[in-house]
Structure 1
Amino acid sequence: MKMKKSLSAVVLMTLLALILSACGGGTTGGSGDSGGDEEGGQQFITLLTGGTEGTYYPLGGSIAEILNSNVDDVKATATSTGASVENMNTLSEGNDDIVAFTQTDIAAYATDGKLMFDGKPIDSIRAIGSLYPETIQIVATEASGIKTVEDLKGKTVSIGAPGSGTNASAEDILKLYGMTVDDVEAQNLDFGESTAGMQDGNIDAAFITAGTPTGAIESLAATTPVTIVGLEQDKIDQLLEELPYYAAYTIEAGTYDLEEPVETVSVNAMLVTTEGMDEELVYNMTKALYENTGDIGHQKAEFIKAETAADGVSIPFHPGAQRYLEEAGVELPSS
């Protein structure tokens, strides 16, 4: 009889333990207020990048290693995505454990609900900082006779895919000179298609937004004489005043065998997150990034500096990033 009572007690205790566990008695897997998924005290951060053939993905992998080595209890992992626009839409889902690559102009469009985000602003996006310039390059064949932006009128010009950042920049620059896409024979082509079209003589010029030197333009220039069309300084000043997500940029002489430097503008690649990510976590990640750029195994590392972290940024900074950058003496735009 005693044995049966003891056995019944053991069974009862076991059932009680199972019920408590099922009702949430455990502590594993809760995200808490940390801004990142936690397990055993470790915070998991997803770094949204771009395609595996582009710059964002390999650079993101290197930045993830920097964070893992320099921020306690953080496990960051870079993942391939469709890049800027897709990354902004993912952030809109309310995940506070994400850091994402994007362009400064795309971040502005997303925050304001313009162009590809028309009517659907994503007001939770916060800046961590700029990384490197992605130059607005107007490339024309010498045979086209195009030397100025005004010369594009009536010519066959690739302005990038619809809804792309390149497309938006082309419209901005044409507007700066009193034109619209209706003033050119517009072609909506990607970089490769644009340069192939110029090589074949089917396209006179193309807007290409990418870090310089751009491989596609180098390959074109090796077989087809080209001109890089510059912008006048007063037009650059006007554009920066009207649209602060742009920054002035000089394409140095020698690039694409240029004899003289060319003045143009750029948007910047940048890192963003959501306003809900923990302030101390973002502070530590921002500090780790900008104080360990020498350990970034990518050629774009030379451009990643705290002093240029605000270049082209027109959206609000995350409080954690703002605190670090202000400590580093960076002048941030008023949000």
Structure 2
Amino acid sequence: MSTTCWSKAASRPTRATACCTSRRRDAAAEPDMTRRSVRCLLLLCVAIFGHAPAYSQKVAEVTLMTAGDGSAFLPYGQGVAAYLASKGISIDVKKSAGSNENLSAVDASATTIGTAFMVSAFDAMNAAGWAAGRKHENLRALFPMYETSFQVAALRSSAITSLADLDGKKVGVGPAKAPAEVFFRAAAEAARVRPIIVNGDPAALAKLVTAGEIDALWQGAVVPIPSLSDVADRADAVVFGLSEAEVAAMLEKFPQLSATIVPPGNYKGQTAEIRSVSAWNFVVANKDLPVEVAYAITKAILSANDPKSEIYPTAGGTLARNATHNRIMPFHPGAMRFYAEAGIVLPAR
């Protein structure tokens, strides 16, 4: 694994359909539509509107950008797609390098939605940080996912138990220039250490830690973080966070973050609280995604009775009331329609 390169898993997108604005069409005007397509559209509209449409429906392709193997975004996105499919709404899931790539892809495509860390979204909206020089003006929020916090995993035999122990050590941080690397560099600066950065997919980096080829893995995701759990489950390892002083330094540099505590028992062998920093993740869309599509997706996801069991175990925060945690990005009009119906008062911007 190169310490100067990063690897990205990608998959070729396939067509996906979602129901949007209805308008009258003469059946003869669409001779190429198969019986199967008609049946799928009817089922989709029943799922969204509660009845079969009097008119045929316009079709839109929707791709959900996530992240790479070993990330928290990918299985969450796959869970979202499976849940939507059970409601008659089909979307394609595509792997990516994570938030930054997703935000740029969504900004450029009316039919792309993506998982996004909202601190990265703040940079995208303001042409700052990783997005310096390019203001992403087309981004709109759909629904909350979960809260992300950051931790480190290392083998217990390494005697690494804090950021201060990482000076000169090889530390995996995920894809190059992605949020995890950005925040790790800031945390290392706060701890006054100079580690060697190693980029790659979190799953691959976790294997390198357990094999002893790198010293530690830093990641940010919903707790328990999948790649860190993998290390703790496969080897005698320790998972740790930041000191009180390091948390204070991070909050001063990144006011979009919040202090957080990870309770004991989230990782194998974890017996004490872990202090860290955190921020929320949302699924975001392009402002030109058709209103009915945005509404249908948002309503379906936020109508799950138990998102942890129906969507994915990390979806406990995928609740309409958590939409209020977005104070960075405007909401899509289709999503706003759902929140108004649900009685959710969105924060003023």
Q: TM-score by structure 2 length?
A: 0.68
Paired letter, 1:93? A
State yes or no: 1:253 paired with 2:264: yes
Structure 1 Cα separation of the partners of residues 251 and 333 of structure 2: 25
Specify whether residues 52 and 189 from structure 1 end up closer, same or farther in structure 2 by C-alpha distance, changes over 3 A only: closer
Taking only aligned residues, the RMSD between alpha carbons, in angstroms, comes to: 3.5
Aligned position for 1:102:
116
Structure 2 Cα separation of the partners of residues 138 and 52 of structure 1: 19
Q: Tell me how far 1:105 sits from its aligned partner.
A: 3.1
Structure 1 Cα separation of the partners of residues 347 and 140 of structure 2: 13
Cα distance per residue 1:142-169 (max 9 Å; x no partner)? 3333333233333332233322222112
Q: Which secondary structure does the structure 2 equivalent of 1:60 belong to?
A: helix
2:84 pairs with 49, 64, 78, which one? 64
Cα distance per residue 1:220-254 (max 9 Å; x no partner)? 32453322222345654664565355454433312
1:287 pairs with 272, 277, 299, which one? 299
Structure 1 Cα separation of the partners of residues 289 and 230 of structure 2: 42
The correspondence of residues 106-185 of structure 1 with structure 2, limited to 5 A, is: 106-175=120-189, 177=190, 179=192, 183-185=194-196
Paired letter, 1:201? G
Specify whether residues 189 and 58 from structure 1 end up closer, same or farther in structure 2 by C-alpha distance, changes over 3 A only: closer
Q: TM-score by structure 1 length?
A: 0.71
The correspondence of residues 37-52 of structure 1 with structure 2, limited to 5 A, is: 40-50=56-66
Paired letter, 2:142? I
State yes or no: 1:264 paired with 2:280: no
Q: Tell me how far 1:272 sits from its aligned partner.
A: 0.7
Q: Tell me how far 1:290 sits from its aligned partner.
A: 1.4
Aligned position for 1:88:
103
Specify whether residues 246 and 78 from structure 1 end up closer, same or farther in structure 2 by C-alpha distance, changes over 3 A only: farther
1:217 pairs with 212, 228, 251, which one? 228
Paired letter, 2:261? T
Structure 1 Cα separation of the partners of residues 230 and 315 of structure 2: 24
The correspondence of residues 165-244 of structure 1 with structure 2, limited to 5 A, is: 165-175=179-189, 177=190, 179=192, 183-232=194-243, 235-236=246-247, 239-240=250-251, 242-243=253-254
- Greater Cα shift, 215-224 or 205-214: 215-224
Q: Tell me how far 1:55 sits from its aligned partner.
A: 1.1
Cα distance per residue 1:97-131 (max 9 Å; x no partner)? 44322232332332233444332221110111221
Q: Tell me how far 1:259 sits from its aligned partner.
A: 0.8
Specify whether residues 320 and 240 from structure 1 end up closer, same or farther in structure 2 by C-alpha distance, changes over 3 A only: farther
| Structure 2 segments unaligned to the other structure (5+ residues) | 1-28, 32-54
Q: Report % sequence identity.
A: 21
Q: Which secondary structure does the structure 2 equivalent of 1:92 belong to?
A: helix
